[in-house]
């Protein structure tokens, strides 16, 4: 009963501040989570309820920070939505935080959430079922440059750190064999066609696999299908797959996209040139 009231008060406070807690600092966040049960029912956004774990760093951070998570990513994603926007592709979605954000920012956008980690993907599936999210389509696959089965090293403390590359921090992690396919092949199999004008938005956060994802979606990129692209550019994780941020920048520019911003949060923002 005590936990019930703590969680209820927490959700009420978070809602009153726009589905985020105020900027109180790391000590306040740590104290807050000491009071919270290990698993708790969270209202992430209006109409989006989920059971979260305070032990998972991604879930912990997104619940506390709300749209400040990876700031200014949520704000920029929302600003890209227009009446022409049809789809949001959340590639490396983790438990789907940005998928839910975009669903609540638009009444018509279709969200495709790609999460190769089977455990994390199951959370997305459950949130879809629980909240009857007809416009959310989760996919338990990885996107890359070619069709294959690859070993995914599973993060144990933070589900967001699962990698296809050799992460030295996950040397003792468990491994899952995951289907990987190019975005272009997924489009064909899904019966989707590339739009003739920018109508899509994408967020790509795949722990070093970013350039391989982009290579697999080259046709859509060159057709200027995307109104905006957010992509993580972390030299440490890119090193797992023997690539560099400069290669990502060059590739996107060659496909006709210009850099709008690269932010200290680790994300770069691109729009059609």
Q: Kindly report, residue by residue over 127-146, the tens digit of the pLDDT.
A: 999 999 999 999 999 999 99
Q: Give the pLDDT score at 159.
A: 63
The CATH number assigned to the domain with range 70-143+183-272 reads 3.40.50.150
Q: Give the pLDDT score at 165.
A: 82
Q: How far apart are CA 187 and CA 272, in angstroms?
A: 21
Q: Give the pLDDT score at 191.
A: 96
For the chain, domain boundaries: 2-65, 70-143+183-272
**Environment class of 33 (CB within 10 Å of its CB; exposed 0-12, middle 13-18, buried 19+):** middle
In tens, the pLDDT along 25-62 reads 999 999 999 999 999 999 999 999 999 999 999 999 99
Least Cα distance to 131 among 117, 115, 111 occurs for: 111
Q: Identify whether the C-beta of residue 58 lies closer than 8 Å to the C-beta of residue 98.
A: no
Q: What is the pTM for the complete model shown?
A: 0.95
In tens, the pLDDT along 84-141 reads 999 999 999 999 999 999 999 999 999 999 999 999 999 999 999 999 999 999 999 9
Q: Which residues pair with 201 in a beta bridge?
A: 88, 228
In tens, the pLDDT along 208-230 reads 999 999 999 999 999 999 999 99
Q: Identify whether the C-beta of residue 266 lies closer than 8 Å to the C-beta of residue 205.
A: no
Torsion on CA atoms 147, 109, 65, 71, rounded to nearest 10:
80
């Amino acid at each position: 009963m005590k936990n019930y009231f703590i969680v209820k008060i927490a959700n009420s406070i978070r809602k009153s501040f726009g589905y985020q807690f105020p900027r109180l600092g790391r000590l306040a966040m740590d104290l807050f989570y000491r009071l919270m049960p290990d698993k708790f029912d969270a209202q992430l956004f209006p109409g989006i309820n989920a059971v979260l774990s305070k032990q998972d760093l991604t879930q912990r951070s997104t619940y506390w920070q709300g749209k400040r998570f990876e700031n200014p990513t949520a704000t920029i994603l929302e600003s890209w939505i227009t009446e022409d926007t049809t789809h949001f592709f959340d590639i490396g979605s983790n438990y789907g935080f940005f998928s839910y954000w975009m669903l609540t920012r638009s009444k018509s956008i279709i969200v495709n959430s790609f999460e190769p980690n089977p455990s994390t993907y199951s959370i997305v599936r459950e949130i879809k079922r629980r909240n009857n999210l007809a416009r959310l389509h989760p996919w338990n696959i990885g996107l890359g440059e070619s069709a294959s089965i690859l070993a995914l090293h599973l993060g144990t403390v933070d589900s967001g750190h699962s990698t296809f590359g050799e992460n030295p921090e996950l040397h003792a992690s468990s491994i899952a064999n995951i289907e990987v396919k190019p975005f272009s092949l997924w489009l064909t199999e899904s019966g989707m066609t590339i739009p003739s004008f920018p109508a899509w938005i994408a967020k790509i956060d795949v722990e070093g696999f970013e350039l391989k994802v982009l290579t697999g979606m080259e046709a859509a990129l060159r057709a200027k299908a995307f109104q905006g692209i957010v992509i993580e550019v972390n030299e440490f994780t890119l090193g797992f797959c023997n690539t560099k941020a400069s290669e990502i920048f060059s590739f996107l520019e060659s496909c006709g996209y210009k850099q709008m911003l690269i932010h200290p949060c680790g994300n770069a923002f691109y729009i059609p040139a």
